[in-house]
Every structure is written in structure tokens, then in C-alpha cells.
Structure 1
């Protein structure tokens, strides 16, 4: 057998062995495989190596080591996992390192998002998409739209964003000389940036959106999420009379942090989530501390079709215990639990080992049988069908009807605003991002900046210069949306991402609608307290 064929077979053998017994080893036990199972595994491996051998000997181009890795890491292993379910996944060394970095919530670098794009001649340039608030890049003066020309004197032309990102990362306290080309400047601008610890907070916004009403935006669940939520509640202090938790687009993350966040709002001992599987014992997670004071305030949780996994655990727990009113769209429906097994060569296998269930017993996972990966992720109904004959029906703690088997159904539906042709045209031309580069080329804006008629006229002139067609009717009909996007984009560039998001959130129509449901959340909270008091009285 050729060496590369042996290498491919070895990689797959290690992987399959991990799939077969990895969970049992971690649990302190190994189930004996039958002789038939072992024979079938050997036969399948022989078939794989026979197919690979034919490919290696007869493919039109020779297979080098990099190609072998792609065949295994990008082809055979992911293909096998996707036959099982949509969420089991394999991480090659780079992806595994990135996953661990995302879970930790920090890294050492300069603190900015970058993206590569070809110019008209096809040459790849890497542009700054945004800088993190108070990061070294932001403090140095690097702005979105800047083109990275060189780092430490070495040209970055032709390098993709991943390569440049790895160059920008490095030990804390080390220097990076970053030269950028900025619109309106003939020569590159050079910044001396000192690398530092770059925290990536999961709670990127926490402020009083109205007097007495706190707003928390949670982007994902990482190792610091529950602490960040507690810090936000502490910051709000005794003036907090209501809370809006925004989980739109939250893809999930660490189960322990979803439990920890839910613990802030439930009673001690309340079930947060349960998980059931085959290789491990079933587990029930409960609130270990519960709300730490006697204050009771209404909670509204805003979700959408991309709220998934750990974010659905929080939504389902607060809904089932009648602690929060859930508003928005039916969530994604990702209730398969992946356990990450580290394999050889710093690779990782995220293998589905459990199913999630809400406190009332609802299965969170959406049906994926007979559905392609593309349709599963991107072609979904916006809401549950009117006919709930085959839908799982459960009751909350106070007796309200809730539905399972496909995400968390909101108590009150709030539609995602649909972009009209004019809005889509501006977004496709990245009009606000590019206008920001033009507008801030030779000026700064103050914190109390307002998009007035002069700014709007500058924006109209920019659209005409770029030959982006519009009518006065288009402009006037969408004026609020235009102002919000101009201000948000300018604030992101001038003050950092969080300030830009803050500026845009104050005019977000879904947020505005969610806030109108605070009285309903108050009634829900009062009814739940009444039920609790009645139950306590009956036990005396």
C-alpha cells in the first residue's frame, strides 16, 4: 500500500475509533463491540483504502500532502458526519484552534475584523471591516475601510485575510507597524500598534434603553457570558424596572454558560434544561443559586429564526417557568448536543451525543430527515404552520400552552422587516460603508453627532457620484432607515463597533416593538408570582 494511502487510512481509522469509543472512554467505560461490528468496520476501511488507492494512482494530477489532507479533512470525514446529522462536525487544526479561541472569548492581537477582496485587476487587497472598541487598532486610529498595505515593512499584497490575521496576532506587548492606504490620502499612513489581550465580550451592549428599562444584547455563549450578564445587572442596579434581552442571531455556544445565565432569573432548583443520549447518563441542569434579591421585574426576550442552541435553552427555560415573555420569530431549532473530542494532530470532533429538552419537556431540535444541508440552514418557513396537529404541546409552570419539536415559538410574533428594492440596492453597493470612508477622510465627528440635512445632501451627492440610482420618493420613504444606517456606520468607524451598534439599536423597529410588550411581561410575572404564593400556601 502506498505511503499516502496508508496515511489516509490511518487518519480515518483514528477518527472512526474515536467516534466508536471516545464517549465511552471519557465516561469511564467501554461497551464491547460485537464481532460483526468489528468485521463491518474492517470491511468498510478496506473499501475506503481501495477507493483511495485507485484515486491516488489514476487521478489526472498527482496528490501531494496538502491534497491528501483535503481529501480526508474536507471530504471523507465531513461527508460521513453530515450523513448522521447537520451539526456533527470535524475541525482541522486551524478550525480547532479558532473554536477554542472563540470559546475563551479573548486572544492576543490588535483587535479588528479584516476581509479580503480583489480589485478590478484581480489583485487581492485586505480591508479593515471594523475595529473593536478600545482595542490597540482602534486607539491607534485605524479605521474601517483602510487597506492594509504592509506589516512590519513586508508587503501584504496578494495575501488573504487569514494569513494577515495570523501575522497580526502575537504575544502581548509586541509591536506591529501597520501601513494602510486611506481614501483621500496620497501616501500610506503608518501606525505603530502594540499587541494586547483582546477580549471579545458576549454582552456587547448593556444600557438603559428607556428610563428604568435595561437592554442586554448577548451575541453568543462563551466562558465569560454568565459573568458578563451579572455585571450588566449589577451596573443597572436598583433602578432596573424591566429588562429586554436581545438574543437575535445568537448561534449558541457553551451549555454551562446558558445554564449560568438562566440561573440569574429563575428560582433556586428550577430546571433549566435536560439532555438525553445513548453513551452517557441523562442529565438535568438546575438553577443552583436563583435570583439573588427579592426584586421582581418583567423580562422580554427578543429572538429570531437565527437564535439557536444555547440561546434557545435560555429562551425555553424562561418561557417554561413564565419568567419572561418571548417575542420575535420562531427560533432555529438546534437541540442536538455536541461533545467535542480532541483527536490527534490538534484536530477535534464535535459529535452529537444528546438531545436538549426544555423544562416542560419540549424537544428543541427541528426535524432534519430528508432535508439537504442547504435547505436545513437557509430554506426554512418563517413561522410554524397554522395546523399544529403534529406539533408537540406542553404547558408552562403557570399552565400556558407552548409548542415544541422545532425551536421556541414566541408568545408574541414580531416580523423581521423585509428590505425593499431601494434598501437592497444600497446594501448591495455597500453604500453606507463606502460613504463613511468618504465622509471621514478629512474630518472627525463628535459624540453628539446628528444626521442633518447637510449630511443627507452629502450622502445624495455620493450616491450620484457612484451612479447609484434612486428617486426622491425612495429617499423620503426610507428616510429614518437611511439616517440610522448613516449614523451607525459613522459611529462604528469613529468610536468603535459597540457605539455604532448602540446608535442603530435606538432606531431598530423590532426592538421598539418588543418594548411595547413590557406590560404583558409584567402581567406574566405577577401571575407567576401569584401562582407561586398559592402553591406555597397550600403546602402549609
Structure 2
């Protein structure tokens, strides 16, 4: 037998063994498998290896180890799992290591976000306090060499891997910077880099705090939320929690965050599966915090973020505003397998405290359509939806995600916005504008700066009309200020500029009185907006954090 065939057999056996591990780890149910089932399994295994042997012997190109890895890790195993549901998944060694790093909430490196821009790898921003920040690396710097290795034609993952390494070790990075007469060399000492999932927490109004949670994929998320609340202190009289684009993550983190706002013993979520006992998660400690809460969600709010949203909504503890969420009501258990791989298998359905299963239908839907195509134009039909009620009696529906109490339309981009973002116009202009000056936080984006920005767009060959520019004036000013502040003060301050401008955030703030009425149990039982029914993978900017 050829070595590649043996490798294919091993990889296929790895997956089939995982199915047995699922049972043996949690109750040994696979041991009860009948002889007929075992015979069917052997037949299926033989069919797979027969197909692979024919491919290996007759395929037009020679199959090397990379072809084999892709055929097994990217083809056969994911194909098997996606027949079951859209969320069961297989992690090859690289993906499994990245997942574990993400869950730990830290890694060792230099601490900067990098991004491909045309043929270059560009620094989006160094992280405050990280080695790259302390060394003076700035947004817009272009990476040329890492430890003497030219990074031309390398992707950002490969560059990030060169920059990561053991704590205390050195890495030399050569950068090109606009306005600098020659490349700049930085000797960086790698350190522990925290991966913060709460990337923004500030007082958006004198007595109202704002917290943005990017995801729940780190074991530190609940602590980060608590740290933010502690930082706000006694002046906090209202809270906005921004879960837009949050793809979810660890269930325990969603439970622990819910515990900070619910009463002790209240149900956060329950889960039911065929092979394992039902589980009910309750707020273990509870909280005496009484301020009103507004939670902003959108169509890309999913999984654990929906668990938090559903718990606060069902217990009338928070007012949910925005768009109907993604609708992921399945729980995956990750089973480690040999060779540093992992199987994320759907083992439970989860239900909100009122009993809602919010999973969106995926039968007969392609994987692409499930994740990226949403028919929001179709009228909602509540007739066949499961009806439940919140603690105060408000109507809520199962299936199709969490319906907001108050709808806030999504922000839709136009041609001008798309073109300027595709060309990285704002970050490029900020790098150019700040190459020979500094600004204060009271800077005003005036006509002079806008004219310079127009000239920069023409230089970039970005086509636009005066009408398009005028229609996007407020957005353009906010984006310019954000990128200028990112260069001068850091990415956190830059992102805060956009939040303070964001029309959805500003609209959410207007619902704070309704959230207070909900908290005081004075909101009408049939709240407007509840009469109609409503990562998951989420497409995003290709950025890497070395």
C-alpha cells in the first residue's frame, strides 16, 4: 500500500474513531452499537478507501501530502459533517491550535493588527501597551522584512507566524513609513499579548456606559465585562451592550455574563440532546445591579451572543434593539482527537429561559445561502411559529433568531462608501496627513482637511461625484477623524470616535427610558415590536494579530 493511501486510511479512521470517542467520553453509548451498524460502518469505510485509491492511481496530477491533507481535512471530513448541520466542523492541526490560542485569550508576539493591502502587508494599528506600540510602530507602516526574511508575496498568517514566538525572544522588523527617507528597523522583544474580546468600554453619555463585545471565544470575556463595569463605577446609571457582528463562542462565558445582570437562580439557557442528559444553566450568584440595559444586535449576532440576548429579553432585564439575530440554536462540543485535531460536533439544541428554540431552518439550504443570504424582504409569518412569553407576559417567538423589542434599520453602504473602503482611502489618507504633524483631541475636520482628502481620492483614482461626497459628509468626517485619532492616540480612541457618531448607537440611546420602564416592570405587556416574528460565520475584514 502506498504511503499516501495509508495516510488517507489513517485520516479517515481518525474521523470515524471520533464518532466513537463522542460516545465513550460521555456515557459509552457507542459500545451498544449493533452488529448491523458495525457492518455498515465497515462497508462505508471500504467504499471511502476504494474511492481514494482510484483517485490516487488515476488522477491527472500526482497527489502529494498537501493534496492529501486538503482532500481529507478540507473535503471528506467537512463534507460528512455538513450533511448533518451547518455548524458541526472539523479542525485540522493549524485550525485547532488557533482555536485553543483564541480561547485562552492571549498569545506571545509583538501586538499589532496587520492587513493585506494590494501586494503589501500593512500595520492597521499596534495594540496599546504592546511591544510594537512601545517601539513606535504606527498605523500605515508597511512590513518589508521580518528577521531578514523578505515578506513579499506572503499572506498575513505567514507574516504573523514569523512575528509570534516565545516570550522574551527578539524579532527584527523592517518597515517602510511615508515621510521617512529610508526604511525603519525595530528590534522587538516578544511578550504576552492579551486578546481582548471587550474592545471598547467607555461612558458614551455622562451616566451611560457602552460595552462592545466582539465575541465570546475567549475564556476571559466575562471578566472583561466585569472589569468594564467596575471601571464605570457608581456613576453608571444605564448600560448599552453592543453585540452587533458577535458570532458567539463559549457557552460558559455567556452564562457568566448573564449572571452579572440576572437574579440568582434565574435560568440563563437550557440544552437538550439525544445522547446526553438535559442541562439547565442558572445564574449562580446573581446581581443587585438595577440600571436599565439596552442591547444592540444585528443579523450577524449569533450563538452565545443570542443566549445572552435571549436571557435578558425573556427575564425582561434588557431591551433588545436592532435587527433580528442570526438564529443559531445549536451547541457544539469540541472533542480533541489525535494529531492535534478536533471535532466540533452538535450535541445539543439550546433553549432560552422562556423555552424558545431560536435555530433558523437549514433543511434544503446550501451552506453559502445559510450563512450569507437572508430574505429579509419576505413578510414575517407568525402563524406557525412557537409562541412563548417573557416573565412579564410579553410575546416572543421561537425559530429564526431573537426578534428585537425595537427595530433599528441596518446601516447600508453606497457606492462612495464601498469604493473608499475597498481602496483603504481613510487609513491611507491619515497616514499621509499625519506624516508631518500631530493633532489634539479637539481637532475639527474642516473644509481644508476635506479638500485634502478629495485630492487624495483623485490621486488614488477613486471615482466619486460632488453629490456622493455631500451625501456622505458626516460619515466621511467621522471616518477621517477615526483614522487620524488611531494614528495619534491609538486604535481604542479611534474606534470610540465611530461609536460616538454611529446612528444605530445614537438611536439605541433614545430607548433608555423604555429599558428603564422594563426594569421597573411598567412596560406594557405587549411591547411594540414583539407582535411580529423575526459566527455563525460572519464575513469581515481580513486582519491578523501577531
**Distance in 2 separating the partners of 1:297 and 1:194:** 44
| 1:105 aligned partner | 105
Shift of 1:118: 4.8
**Distance in 1 separating the partners of 2:340 and 2:231:** 40
| 2:328 aligned partner | 334
- Are 1:136 and 2:135 an aligned pair? no
The two structures have a TM-score, normalised by structure 1, of 0.94
Q: Can you list the C-alpha shifts for 1:134-171, whole angstroms capped at 9, x where unaligned?
A: 22112212223222111222322232222211110011
Q: Is the 8 A contact 1:398 1:528 kept in 2?
A: no
SS of aligned partner of 1:341: strand
**Shift in CA distance, 428/307, structure 1 to aligned 2, threshold 3 Å:** same
| 2:253 aligned partner | 257
- Are 1:389 and 2:383 an aligned pair? yes
**Shift in CA distance, 424/161, structure 1 to aligned 2, threshold 3 Å:** closer
The two structures have a TM-score, normalised by structure 2, of 0.93
Shift of 1:476: 2.4
- Are 1:147 and 2:146 an aligned pair? no
**Shift in CA distance, 156/466, structure 1 to aligned 2, threshold 3 Å:** closer
Q: Is the 8 A contact 1:218 1:245 kept in 2?
A: yes
Q: Is the 8 A contact 1:330 1:382 kept in 2?
A: no
- Are 1:196 and 2:191 an aligned pair? yes
| 1:518 aligned partner | 512
Q: Can you list the C-alpha shifts for 1:412-432, whole angstroms capped at 9, x where unaligned?
A: 000112112222232232211
| 1:48 aligned partner | 48
Unaligned runs of 5+ in 2: 526-546
Q: How does 1:77-92 map to 2 (within 5 A)?
A: 77-92=77-92
SS of aligned partner of 1:409: coil
**Shift in CA distance, 448/177, structure 1 to aligned 2, threshold 3 Å:** farther
| 1:267 aligned partner | 263
**Distance in 2 separating the partners of 1:402 and 1:452:** 47
Shift of 1:530: 12
Q: Is the 8 A contact 1:329 1:383 kept in 2?
A: no
Shift of 1:64: 1.4
SS of aligned partner of 1:475: helix
Q: How does 1:8-87 map to 2 (within 5 A)?
A: 8-19=8-19, 21-31=20-30, 32-87=32-87
Moved more, 233-242 or 88-97: 233-242
| 1:538 aligned partner | none
**Distance in 2 separating the partners of 1:118 and 1:400:** 51
**Distance in 1 separating the partners of 2:14 and 2:459:** 59
Q: Is the 8 A contact 1:330 1:383 kept in 2?
A: no
SS of aligned partner of 1:427: helix
**Distance in 2 separating the partners of 1:510 and 1:530:** 24
Q: Is the 8 A contact 2:270 2:351 kept in 1?
A: yes
Q: Can you list the C-alpha shifts for 1:324-355, whole angstroms capped at 9, x where unaligned?
A: 00000000011111100111110111011001
| 1:348 aligned partner | 342
**Distance in 2 separating the partners of 1:40 and 1:309:** 35
SS of aligned partner of 2:210: strand
**Distance in 1 separating the partners of 2:393 and 2:240:** 23
SS of aligned partner of 1:311: helix
**Distance in 2 separating the partners of 1:137 and 1:388:** 53
| 1:473 aligned partner | 467
Moved more, 85-94 or 229-238: 229-238
Q: Is the 8 A contact 1:324 1:525 kept in 2?
A: yes
Q: Can you list the C-alpha shifts for 1:85-104, whole angstroms capped at 9, x where unaligned?
A: 11111111111010011111
| 2:158 aligned partner | 163
**Distance in 2 separating the partners of 1:136 and 1:445:** 24
**Distance in 1 separating the partners of 2:263 and 2:176:** 55
Shift of 1:500: 1.2
SS of aligned partner of 2:339: helix
Q: How does 1:111-510 map to 2 (within 5 A)?
A: 111-119=111-119, 125-221=120-216, 222-291=218-287, 293=288, 295-382=289-376, 385-510=379-504
SS of aligned partner of 2:451: helix
Shift of 1:528: 6.8
Shift of 1:356: 1.0
Q: Can you list the C-alpha shifts for 1:12-48, whole angstroms capped at 9, x where unaligned?
A: 11211212x2222222423411111111110011111
Unaligned runs of 5+ in 1: 120-124, 532-540
Moved more, 93-102 or 487-496: 487-496
Q: Is the 8 A contact 1:322 1:528 kept in 2?
A: no
Give the total of aligned pairs. Answer: 523
**Distance in 1 separating the partners of 2:117 and 2:290:** 51
Q: Is the 8 A contact 1:323 1:528 kept in 2?
A: no
Moved more, 454-463 or 301-310: 454-463
